[in-house]
Structure 1
Amino acid sequence: MKSDKPIECTGCNTFDVGSILDNSELDVNVEKIFADKEAAEQTLAQLIRKARDTESEPAQIRSEISAVEGGYKLNAKFTFSCQAEVVIFQLATRSI
């Protein structure tokens, strides 16, 4: 039986992850500007590879690269089957 109050242990700095990862966030939105289209396409390919490495069920990926003043804008939305995958993907793509 799950309690409404998270389980915490202040002595060991732990807490019940289930009360944080409640599957309310399944999307990751990425928006970046690049100097050229090739750089935007390469970054999108890296993000897709990371999503595929993370997913347990196929993630839905919608993306668009459009010309803007000063370069190219990448807009991408990744929808995962659970919030844990969102967190893993975000951690894996922090440096991209």
Structure 2
Amino acid sequence: MTHAINKCSANETAACCCVDVGTIMDNSDCTASWSQLYATRDEAEAMLATLTEKARQVESEPCVIQSELTEQPDGVRLEASFTFSCQAETMIFQLGLR
């Protein structure tokens, strides 16, 4: 077998497509953002409550949640950011929203 290690920023093995998790997650992105337009303020507030509950289920240390509801001609826009203590929690939160 020839030397099949790909030369890039990630060291991949010849046997599989495995990379060191530190190559992907370096703890530089700990914030997840949410932006969506809702028909009513009640719908936007209900979604914020749902997102907050999901964030609380993931956090190991308190997640910093910042949100803003903006009245627009066609509804209410919810803008929210969720800053976790580590990138793994951010990814778990984001995957849980799918």
Fold shared per TM-score above 0.5:
yes
What is the rounded CA distance, in whole Å, between the counterparts of 1:74 and 1:87 in structure 2?
21
**1:61 is the counterpart of 2:65:** yes
State the Cα deviation string for residues 4-60 of structure 1 (Å, max 9, x = none): x64422423221111110011011111100011111111111100110011110000
Unpaired stretches in structure 2, ≥5 consecutive residues: 1-8
SS in 2 for 1:22: coil
Aligned residue pairs total 90
Larger Rg: 2
Aligned counterpart, 1:8: 12
State the Cα deviation string for residues 71-93 of structure 1 (Å, max 9, x = none): 00001111110011111011001
Aligned counterpart, 2:5: none
Give the percent of matched residue pairs that are identical in Structure 1 and Structure 2.
46
Change (3 A) 1:11 1:42: same
Unpaired stretches in structure 1, ≥5 consecutive residues: none
More strand by share: 1
Aligned counterpart, 1:45: 49
SS in 2 for 1:61: strand
Cα root mean square deviation, aligned: 1.3
